[in-house]
Amino acid sequence: MSDIDVLISEVGPRDGLQSIKSIMPTDAKKAWIKAEADAGVREIEVGSFVPPKLLPQLADTAEIVAYARTLPGLAVAALVPNFKGAENAVKAGAHKITLPLSVSETHSQANLKKTHAQVLDEVRKIVELLDSLPADQRPDFEGGLSTAFGCTLEGKVPEAKVVELARELIALGCDEVGLSDTTGYANPTQLRRLIKLIWAEVGQDKLTGVHLHNTRGLGLANAHAALEEGITTLDSSLGGIGGCPFAPGASGNIVTEDLAFMLDAMGLQTGIDLAKLLAVRQIVRDALPDEELYGFTPDAGLPKDYSPGGWGIAA
Ligand code: ZN
């Protein structure tokens, strides 16, 4: 990503779609992913290798991964809940896989039906599998530290626990860890502290991305704080779809359109063409007529005379 300053990783097709009741048809998913790649988005998390019984919305993930791989220049990411999921992701050809490890063990048991020790066992097996692959077929493997900023079941999550699990994931062979504000509890000060603590433990190159939600409206404030610390990858979802089951009316992930606007206006290169990105919304709206789309920039439109690349900082 040498020609861009910030990698926006679109997670709507996974995080967004898994959180809503509507099932997006496979062809619409393909059109969405293609349109976003055409708009310049370099990485998209296109699905999750969970049993279709649990998440029928994502039952076509293998097909979507295979399709997304045909789009030039796109890094294709997928979530894997366990070893079986990782096997399927490798078979489908994902470039990057993320296994979520919930720092709140109560949440881990509620969500994945696994203790920390059991999840770490899966990580160990996945690393063995990846190590057996030829280098050009080996996906990047991220351990996602979810509920890192607080949990709807446990409440406060100790920083020391987050750091300890980051250390264990790297020690077991994850290429990277990611910090996830699954519940939308994070604030900028807390986020900066946790980034620094994890860097001190595992090294700056082992944590380059954060996954933020906008549940309490702090998504962009947190994104900006992370950038100032030196984080270079930000997850977001088009239209902020997904919502939050615990906070009616709240958006899901930070909104890709608003994030891309902020970065572009600040003169940071993302590789994204804003006008094209805004047009992608129509595809999602048409395919999900019953779901709410969020975002301020799409509603307000781009400023008068807007031009890409630092419009907001030009004299
Ligand atoms: Zn999320």
**314 pLDDT more than 90:** no
**218 pLDDT more than 70:** yes
> How much of the chain, in percent, has pLDDT values that exceed 90?
90
- Note the pLDDT of residue 9: 98
**233 pLDDT more than 70:** yes
> Looking at residues 202-230, what average pLDDT do you find?
97
> Looking at residues 108-132, what average pLDDT do you find?
95
Is 244 part of the annotated catalytic residue set? yes
Burial of 128 (0-12, 13-18, 19+ CB in 10 A): exposed
Q: Which tens digit of pLDDT belongs to each residue from 58-80?
A: 999 999 999 999 999 999 999 99
**1 pLDDT more than 60:** no
**In 203-255, alpha helices (H):** 219-229
> Residues lining ligand 1 (ion), CB within 5 A?
15
Closest to 157 measured CA to CA, from 193, 123, 122, 124: 193
Task: Give 52 Cα–ligand 1 centroid separation in angstroms.
Answer: 19
**246 pLDDT more than 70:** no
Task: Give 175 Cα–ligand 1 centroid separation in angstroms.
Answer: 20
CA dihedral 187, 227, 299, 45 (to 10 degrees): -90
- Note the pLDDT of residue 112: 82
> Looking at residues 128-134, what average pLDDT do you find?
97
What is the architecture of the domain spanning 7-300?
A: Alpha-Beta Barrel (3.20)
Categorize the per-residue pLDDT at 250 as very low, low, confident or very high, splitting at 50, 70 and 90. low
Categorize the per-residue pLDDT at 187 as very low, low, confident or very high, splitting at 50, 70 and 90. very high
SS3 78: strand
- Note the pLDDT of residue 245: 63
Mean pLDDT of the chain: 95
**177 pLDDT more than 90:** yes
Categorize the per-residue pLDDT at 249 as very low, low, confident or very high, splitting at 50, 70 and 90. low
Which secondary-structure segment (H or E) carries 63? helix 61-68
Task: Give 71 Cα–ligand 1 centroid separation in angstroms.
Answer: 24
Q: Which tens digit of pLDDT belongs to each residue from 82-117?
A: 999 999 999 999 999 999 999 999 999 987 899 999
**203 pLDDT more than 70:** yes
Task: Give 200 Cα–ligand 1 centroid separation in angstroms.
Answer: 25
Task: Give 146 Cα–ligand 1 centroid separation in angstroms.
Answer: 8
Q: Which of 244, 259, 277, 283 is catalytic?
A: 244
Task: Give 209 Cα–ligand 1 centroid separation in angstroms.
Answer: 13
Kindly report the number of other CB atoms within 10 A of residue 171's CB atom.
Answer: 11
**258 pLDDT more than 60:** yes
For 209, phi then psi, to 5°, come to -135, 150
Task: Give 183 Cα–ligand 1 centroid separation in angstroms.
Answer: 8
- Note the pLDDT of residue 8: 98
Task: Give 256 Cα–ligand 1 centroid separation in angstroms.
Answer: 13
- Note the pLDDT of residue 36: 98
> Looking at residues 175-202, what average pLDDT do you find?
97
Residue with tokens 């009741």: 21
Closest to 133 measured CA to CA, from 173, 169, 167, 165: 173
Task: Give 168 Cα–ligand 1 centroid separation in angstroms.
Answer: 22
- Structural domain boundaries in the chain: 7-300
